[in-house]
Amino acid sequence: MGSDSTLIDYFIQDHRDCDERWVEVERAIESGDSTAVRASWETFNREQRHHLDKEEQVMFPAFEEATGMTTGPTVVMRMEHGQMRGLLEQMESAIPGGDFQTVLDLGDTLLMLVQQHNQKEEGMLYPMANSALGADWGSLKEKIEKL
Interface with Fe ion in residues 89-128 (CB under 5 A): 121
Q: Tell me the closest approach of the beta carbon of residue 106 to Fe ion, in angstroms.
A: 19
DSSP-assigned letters across all residues of 79-135: HHHHHHHHHHHHHHHHTTTT-HHHHHHHHHHHHHHHHHHHHHIIIIIHHHHHHHHGG
The alpha carbon of residue 4 and the mean position of all alpha carbons in its chain are separated, in whole angstroms, by 16
Give whichever of 81 and 95 is closer to Fe ion, judged by the CB atom. 81
36 vs 128 by CB, closer to Fe ion: 128
Rounded to the nearest whole angstrom, what is the least distance from the CB of residue 51 to Fe ion in the complex? 6
Q: Which of 63, 87, 88, 66 is nearest to 76 (CA)?
A: 63
**Residues 65/140, Cβ–Cβ less than 8 Å:** no
11 vs 100, beta carbon nearer Fe ion: 11
**CB of residue 125 to Fe ion, shortest distance in Å:** 8
Per-position x/- string for 10-39, each x denoting binding to Fe ion as judged by CB under 5 A, each - no binding: ------------------------------
Which C-beta is closer to Fe ion: that of 13 or that of 139? 13
Q: Which is nearer to Fe ion, 19 or 92 (CB)?
A: 19
Could you tell me which residues come within 8 angstroms of residue 8 by beta carbon, excluding any fewer than 6 positions away? Answer: 122, 126, 127, 130
User: N- to C-terminal Cα distance for the chain?
Assistant: 23
- Provide the minimum distance between the beta carbon of 11 and Fe ion in the complex, in angstroms, as a whole number: 6
Q: Give the distance, in angstroms, between the CA of residue 110 and the centroid of all CA atoms in the same chain.
A: 11
In the complex, least distance from residue 98 CB atom to Fe ion, rounded to whole angstroms? 30
Number of residues that bind Fe ion (CB under 5 A): 1
Write out the residues near Fe ion by the rule CB under 5 A: 121
